[in-house]
Amino acid sequence: MNFRKEYNLPLACDCSGKALDNVFFKDGYAYASDAHILARVPLSLCLGLPSEEAEKLNGFCIPGEVLKALYKYDVITIERGEDLDKESGEVVPTCEIKVCYEDCQITVSLARNVKVGMPKFEDIFKNDVVRVPVKNIGLSVELLHDLSKALNIKSVNMRFTTADKKIYISAATNIADEWNQPLGIIMPVLCTAHLPGFVDE
């Protein structure tokens, strides 16, 4: 089995070659962000492997472009190990993804989240949704498209927050259990102008 390509997490990554170029795995979730959108998908959904295999990814990350390349293979295996860190001199965990293709084997070594500098995504996902009146909202259609593809949803439910203006995006069909489903965050763009004939009440 392999990562399920219908959850196109690389679309939510920033391909600048910096930390946000990666898909991060932590505590049962896969995270991807380009600093404008943030996708969080349970590993049980986006990875077609038993839970004990998925757990091996915890604490590691993979570049979005590498993950995209892995989608074309049918079967991957995940192996955990240990190695001596040259900088600290400590024994640290390692993680490799291996792919057998025709007569050769491809090995991808994953980086540790702490080494790359994973942002504290889990702190951004706080259950701080409140009912607030919204009169005007501006969204990037391109970013919303990328986020919906990363979350594998076709119709979206939007819930608004007051503190930092972030907007939670989830599948419209999973509203009752959205916190345990693929969940995203998108930031609005400044929207002050009105369409002709439309004014605030």
The string of pLDDT tens digits covering residues 26-47 is 999 999 999 889 999 998 888 8
Confidence of residue 196 (pLDDT cuts 50, 70, 90): very low
Q: Which CATH number does the domain 9-118 belong to among 1.10.1740, 2.40.128, 3.10.150, 3.30.450?
A: 3.10.150
> How many of the other CB atoms lie within 10 Å of CB of 29?
21
All structural domains of the chain with their residue ranges? 9-118, 123-186
pLDDT of residue 136: 74
- Distance from C-alpha of 17 to C-alpha of 87, rounded to nearest angstrom: 22
Confidence of residue 197 (pLDDT cuts 50, 70, 90): very low
What's this model's pTM, rounded to 2 decimal places?
0.85
pLDDT of residue 148: 93
Computed over every residue of the chain, the mean pLDDT equals: 83
Cβ-based neighbours of 38, under 8 Å, separated by 6 or more: 12, 31, 32, 121, 124, 184, 185, 186
The string of pLDDT tens digits covering residues 84-118 is 888 888 899 999 999 987 778 889 999 999 999 99
- Distance from C-alpha of 37 to C-alpha of 32, rounded to nearest angstrom: 8
